[in-house]
Structures are given as structure tokens and as C-alpha cells.
């Protein structure tokens, strides 16, 4: 039986082999060979690993980076449209408005909303440039230089016309990324009269953004004057509208609004009516004397408040804030009289005889002379082969008469020595000039102030390779030679004479109403006090009063108040050209105002500064009487 079975099995085995061997080609092709187990495991591992990687990526994007990508998505859908904060206003001491804000529209570009294709962006640039009257190539270059992913607008053109804004709105679908932005620009009241005080604002520049990183590309910033020095207070805090937009940037839904906070308001010590009066009187004298440049400053001697500050010629600061043509700009900066130059605080001039009260104070303090010392002025003094002349013969002269009549020979003697007087020498003259604020910035609160210059023996040796001669001291003692001062320095030192010896820091802003409602006062600051003794100050005051009573400024005798003053004519250049100075204060017994007037470049017989001062005092004290 077993044998039978074995035979049968063998027979079946043979049958299978025979069947395989006997299959045809097509049939053999249909027979599949089983896969190797090793390869099957490999494929399963690939599938498992891929699923793990995909699951991990999903987890990373949704859980770990979910907040980030949600914000990105919302950033493409939800935007904050900036609401510009108005700048603070500026008022004079009586509350008269000097600066307003007026509505304006800017054309801007939002880089993230521009087409992706460069050729399409170029078409947009050319089209908007045509609408706004801009150069197509420049506009295209400006757009390409922006960060293409940024939502911060870049300025195309400020203060566009109503017609231009309407065209942009009408063609908005054709100009993706181009927007109009509501803003405000400054409107300066009586602009040319106050421009050197107020300065102006303008669009922020790239280099300014480096020091003000929190500003937008379309923000305005103070460029000159109070607008610049008080920028941090005048600038407000922008608000914003949060809105939902579609893919084209069109607003679909308002989400919320944060109101802007206006900037702080400045209240000045400036008397607007006095400023206008000085401007007009000074302009008239320039016309009469056929000169073109001048400056004047009025200060309260009791606290350093600047009441008026005028520099001529002036300029219209509205041109800078509201836009000007290239032609107007070129004319302004190429004007030989430099209307942008603030002569009152930046001009450095030989002070002429306005220095004499200062030199007199130094000589009295150093006991070089006393109030009874006299010099016989015969019209000149001779030192070797050199002759140092006076403007006239004064005869026997003491300190009061020397100030009143502006006696050069007396001050030659006091400054460099003569007639048995030792002489101060340049070192001691410089000591007192520095003491009264010359040769240094006084710290007025508008930019551009200069130091003036007070020389000494060492400076001349190093700068010119020459030693200091007695003639240099003679010239320095009458405000000639190398010494220079600004009109601000001249009037500020006279305020210290007027108030019995206190030198205040001049200031224009009295107080600020800040954003948070706080009133921040700009209190008087003393630079130095007790400059010279009370007795010697009194002698100087009497000499300056005598100048009006019987000296070089008798024109002011007819005024309703007593005035003390000092004239000055400072030579410069050739052909007998001089600067005409007059510095004064009033009332004599209780000073409320000190004024310096400088008329540049008149003839030697020109005393234009004195009649201007008379007209100013006449107007000022008539108003005071009418108010009482």
C-alpha cells in the first residue's frame, strides 16, 4: 500500500514538472513569481516613515507654528490703516496762532500690493507718474527700491491736487498698490515775518529715518527753527483703523479704530505784534538806505525771554511745508543775500563800539581806571609811526563820557595802555568778554546759533604766525580787528548790564501743553550772575543813559520813556563800508525790554539802527500806555 502511495506521489510530481515543461510561451509569461520577503518589508518601512514625516510636518505647521501662520494669513486679510496725528500748534505770548494745520492728500505706494511681475509694476509706475506729473523712470526706480513685502507706504508725491486724487481713485483697479493718504501740512501765518523763528517741517528723509526708526516713510519732521528743536513735543501719536481687505486691498469691513493723539502745543515768549512792527520798520530802513540785510532782537532783561527776533531778508516757510517748484527752490538757495541764513543768531560781525560798555566794566573791575579817571582826547594817539584815530576830538573824557560819546582814544588807552594807563591787554579783555557770554553759544532754543570769536595772543601766533601787537589790543578794545559777535550775544550782554549783572540763557518757548495735558514750563535759566560789582554796573548804566541824553543817540530823547543805549559802527571790507549797530534798553530805571538792531553794509555816516530803534520803542510804549 505504502509502495502504491509513494508511486502515486512521484507520479503527481512528475506530472507538475511535465505540465510546466510543456507550457507555451504566452502561458509562461502569465505565471507570476512570488516577491522576496525582504523587499516587501522595505516597501512597508518607506510607507510608515513617510506617514510619520507627514504627520510631524502637519503637527509643526498647525501646533508649533500655527500662531505665526495665522498672523501671516490675517496680515493678508486684516490691515491697520494709519490715521496721522496732527502736529501741535504754536502760539505767541498772547495766544495768537502762528501755525495751523490744513488738510492735505499724499499719493503713496504700498509695495506688498504691487503686481508680482516686474513688467506689470513698471506699467503701474509709468501710469501713476503720468497722472502726477512725475518722471516715469524716477518713479519706477523708486518703486523697485522698496521692500516688496512691506505694507508700509512709500511716498510718491505729497500734497497732490484734488483732481489728481480723483483720477487715482477712478483708476484704482488699474493701479494696484497705489493709494491716497489723508494727512495735514503746516500753514504758517505771516510766514515771512516768523520764518526764522518757527522754521518749517518737511517729509522725512532716508538719513533721518536712521535716527528716527519709529517714523513712517510718509511722516513729516521738523527741519529748522522751533519745528526742529521741539520735534519730540510737536509730534503726535498716530492712530489707526483696523480693517478687513480683499486680495486687491479694498476695504471690506471695519474692525476697530484707535484715535490719534495730537502733538503738544507751544506757547512762545514772542510778541507777535512787536515782531511784525520790527519786521516792517527794519524793512523800511533797508529800502531807504538801499541796503538789503539786517537783524534785530528784543529780549526781556528780567528773565531772558525773547520778545522778537527778525532776520532780513526772510523767506516763505509755507513753500517748504506745502511744496515749491524747482525754480523757486533754486532761486531761494542761490540768492546772494541768503534769505535762509538766520543773521540774528548765526551771523558773526565785528561788534564795533557796542563792545565799549563791556570793556569799561572790565577796566573798572580790574582797577585799571576808576570813575574819575580822565583822558585828554585830541583826536588820535601815536605809537611810533602808527596813528590810531578817533572819529572826532572829545577833549577831557571820563568813563561816562567815553561811553556816551563813543570815545575811541579813551578805550585805546584802557584796552592797550596809554596816557599812564596800564591797559587791560587782550587776555583780560577776553576774560570779561567770555564772562558776558561772548565766544560761546548762549543756548537759545532754536538751532543754528554760532559762537562768535574772541581772539588772544596765542591764537594769533598759532593761526597767523605773528605775535600780538599793541595795535591789536587797541582795535579789540573798540570792537574791530579779529573779534566777532552775533546780534544775540550783543543784546544778551546788554541785558546783564540792564538787570544789574545777571546773564540769562535766552529762550523763545515759555511753556508746552503736552499730549497728556501736562503743562511743562520753560523756566528762566541763569548762565552767570554777579558779573561785576553793583557800583561799577551803575557807572556803565549812567554812561549808556548819557548816550541818549547828550551823546550819540539823542534822537531817542523825545520818547515817552527813558532809554539807555550804545551806538556802534563796525568797519568791514573796503570803500568805507560799515555795519550800523544800536543796542539799548528801556525804561532806564526798571528795564522791561532790551533791543539790538544791526543794519549791514551801510556807509560810515549811516545810523540806520538808531531811527529804527526809536520807531520800535515809540510803538511799544504807546501800546503799553493804551493798555494801562
Q: Supply the pLDDT for residue 60.
A: 62
Mean pLDDT of the chain: 87
Superfamily of domain 272-627: DD-peptidase/beta-lactamase superfamily (3.40.710.10)
- Across the range 569-591, mean pLDDT stands at 86
In the chain, what is the straight-line distance between the N-terminal and C-terminal CA atoms, in Å?
154
Task: Look up the pTM and report it.
Answer: 0.83
CA torsion 176→177→178→184, rounded to 10°?
150
Q: Which helix (H) or strand (E) holds 106?
A: strand 97-109
CA torsion 549→554→559→563, rounded to 10°?
-50
Residue 15 has pLDDT above 60, yes or no: no
DSSP secondary structure string, 154-208? EEEESS--HHHHHHHHHTGGGSTTEEEEEEEEEEETTHHHHHHHH-EEEEPPHHH
C-alpha pair distances (Å), 111 with each of 51, 80, 138, 205, 454: 40, 15, 16, 18, 55
- How far is 511 from 531, CA to CA, in rounded Å? 28
Q: Supply the pLDDT for residue 427.
A: 97
Give percent of the chain above pLDDT 70. 86
Tell me which residue has cell 502511495: 5
539, three cell numbers = 557807572
How do residues 27-85 score in pLDDT, each as one tens digit?
544 444 455 666 667 677 777 777 787 776 666 656 665 665 455 444 456 767 788 89
- How far is 247 from 438, CA to CA, in rounded Å? 65
Residue 628 has pLDDT above 80, yes or no: no
Q: Supply the pLDDT for residue 149.
A: 78
602, three cell numbers = 551801510
User: Which of 513, 575, 520, 566 lies closest to 544 in space, CA to CA?
Assistant: 566
Is domain 82-268 given the CATH code 3.40.1190.20 in the classification? no
Same fold, 82-268 and 272-627: no
486, three cell numbers = 552775533
C-alpha pair distances (Å), 615 with each of 212, 490, 567, 622: 46, 20, 16, 11
Answer whether 540's CB lies under 8 Å from 501's CB: no
How do residues 84-133 score in pLDDT, each as one tens digit?
899 999 999 999 999 999 998 899 998 888 888 888 888 999 999 999 98
Give percent of the chain above pLDDT 90. 61
Q: Which of 141-145, 204-208, 377-381 is modeled with the greatest confidence?
A: 377-381
Domain positions in the chain: 82-268, 272-627
Question: In sequence order, what are the residues at sequence separation of 6 or more whose Cβ sits closer than 8 angstroms to the Cβ of residue 209?
Answer: 215, 217
Q: Supply the pLDDT for residue 20.
A: 42
∠ Cα 623 626 627 (to 5°): 90
- How far is 388 from 381, CA to CA, in rounded Å? 5
Answer whether 128's CB lies under 8 Å from 156's CB: yes
Amino acid at each position: 500500500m505504502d509502495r502504491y502511495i509513494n508511486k502515486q506521489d512521484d507520479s503527481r510530481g512528475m506530472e507538475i514538472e511535465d505540465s510546466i515543461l510543456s507550457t507555451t510561451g504566452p502561458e509562461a509569461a502569465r505565471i507570476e513569481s512570488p516577491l522576496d520577503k525582504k523587499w516587501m518589508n522595505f516597501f512597508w518601512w518607506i510607507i510608515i516613515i513617510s506617514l510619520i514625516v507627514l504627520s510631524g510636518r502637519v503637527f509643526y505647521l498647525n501646533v508649533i507654528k500655527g500662531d505665526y501662520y495665522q498672523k501671516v494669513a490675517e496680515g493678508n486679510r486684516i490691515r491697520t490703516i494709519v490715521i496721522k496725528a496732527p502736529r501741535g500748534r504754536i502760539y505767541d505770548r498772547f495766544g495768537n496762532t502762528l501755525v495751523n494745520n490744513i488738510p492735505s492728500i499724499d499719493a503713496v505706494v504700498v509695495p506688498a500690493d504691487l503686481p508680482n511681475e516686474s513688467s506689470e509694476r513698471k506699467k503701474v509706475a509709468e501710469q501713476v507718474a503720468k497722472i502726477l506729473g512725475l518722471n516715469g523712470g524716477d518713479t519706477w526706480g523708486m518703486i523697485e527700491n522698496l521692500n516688496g513685502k512691506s505694507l508700509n507706504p512709500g511716498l510718491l508725491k505729497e500734497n497732490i491736487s484734488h483732481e489728481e486724487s480723483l483720477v487715482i481713485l477712478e483708476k484704482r483697479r488699474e493701479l494696484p498698490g497705489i493709494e491716497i493718504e489723508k494727512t495735514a501740512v503746516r500753514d504758517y501765518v505771516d510766514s515771512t515775518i516768523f520764518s526764522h523763528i518757527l522754521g518749517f517741517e518737511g517729509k522725512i528723509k532716508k538719513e533721518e529715518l536712521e535716527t528716527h526708526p519709529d517714523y513712517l516713510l510718509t511722516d513729516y519732521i521738523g527741519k529748522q527753527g522751533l519745528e526742529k528743536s521741539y520735534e519730540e513735543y510737536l509730534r503726535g501719536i498716530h492712530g489707526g483703523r483696523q480693517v478687513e481687505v480683499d486680495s486687491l486691498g479694498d476695504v471690506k469691513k471695519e474692525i476697530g479704530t484707535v484715535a490719534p493723539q495730537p502733538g503738544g502745543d507751544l506757547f512762545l515768549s514772542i510778541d507777535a505784534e512787536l515782531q511784525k512792527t520790527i519786521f516792517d520798520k527794519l524793512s523800511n530802513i533797508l529800502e531807504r538806505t538801499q541796503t538789503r540785510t539786517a537783524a534785530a532782537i528784543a529780549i526781556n532783561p528780567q528773565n531772558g525771554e525773547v520778545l522778537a527776533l527778525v532776520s532780513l531778508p526772510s523767506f516763505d516757510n509755507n513753500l517748504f511745508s506745502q511744496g515749491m517748484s524747482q525754480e523757486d527752490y533754486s532761486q531761494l538757495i542761490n540768492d546772494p543775500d541768503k534769505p535762509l541764513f538766520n543773521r540774528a543768531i548765526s551771523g558773526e560781525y565785528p561788534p564795533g563800539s557796542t563792545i565799549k560798555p563791556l570793556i569799561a566794566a572790565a577796566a573798572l573791575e580790574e582797577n585799571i581806571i576808576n570813575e574819575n579817571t580822565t583822558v585828554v582826547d585830541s583826536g588820535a594817539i601815536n605809537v611810533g609811526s602808527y596813528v590810531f584815530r578817533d572819529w572826532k576830538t572829545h577833549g577831557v573824557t571820563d568813563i561816562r563820557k567815553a561811553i556816551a560819546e563813543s570815545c575811541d582814544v579813551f578805550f585805546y588807552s584802557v584796552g592797550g595802555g596809554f596816557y599812564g594807563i596800564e591797559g587791560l591787554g587782550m587776555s583780560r579783555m577776553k576774560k570779561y568778554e567770555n564772562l558776558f557770554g561772548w565766544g560761546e553759544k548762549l543756548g537759545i532754543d532754536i538751532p543754528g546759533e554760532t559762537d562768535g570769536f574772541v581772539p588772544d595772543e596765542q591764537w594769533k601766533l598759532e593761526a597767523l604766525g605773528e605775535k600780538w601787537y599793541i595795535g591789536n589790543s587797541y582795535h579789540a578794545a573798540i570792537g574791530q580787528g579779529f573779534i566777532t559777535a552775533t546780534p544775540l550775544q550783543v543784546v544778551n550782554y546788554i541785558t546783564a548790564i540792564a538787570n544789574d549783572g545777571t546773564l540769562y540763557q535766552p529762550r523763545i518757548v515759555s511753556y508746552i501743553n503736552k499730549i497728556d495735558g501736562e503743562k511743562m514750563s520753560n523756566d528762566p535759566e541763569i548762565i552767570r550772575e554777579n558779573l561785576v560789582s553793583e557800583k561799577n554796573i551803575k557807572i556803565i548804566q549812567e554812561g549808556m543813559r548819557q548816550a541818549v541824553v547828550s551823546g550819540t543817540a539823542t534822537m531817542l530823547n523825545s520818547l515817552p520813556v527813558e532809554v539807555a543805549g550804545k551806538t556802534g559802527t563796525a568797519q568791514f571790507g573796503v570803500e568805507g563800508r560799515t555795519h550800523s549797530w544800536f543796542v539799548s534798553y528801556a525804561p532806564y530805571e526798571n528795564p522791561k525790554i532790551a533791543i539790538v538792531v544791526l543794519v549791514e553794509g551801510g556807509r560810515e555816516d549811516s545810523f540806520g539802527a538808531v531811527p529804527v530803534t526809536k520807531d520800535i520803542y515809540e510803538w511799544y510804549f504807546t501800546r503799553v500806555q493804551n493798555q494801562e
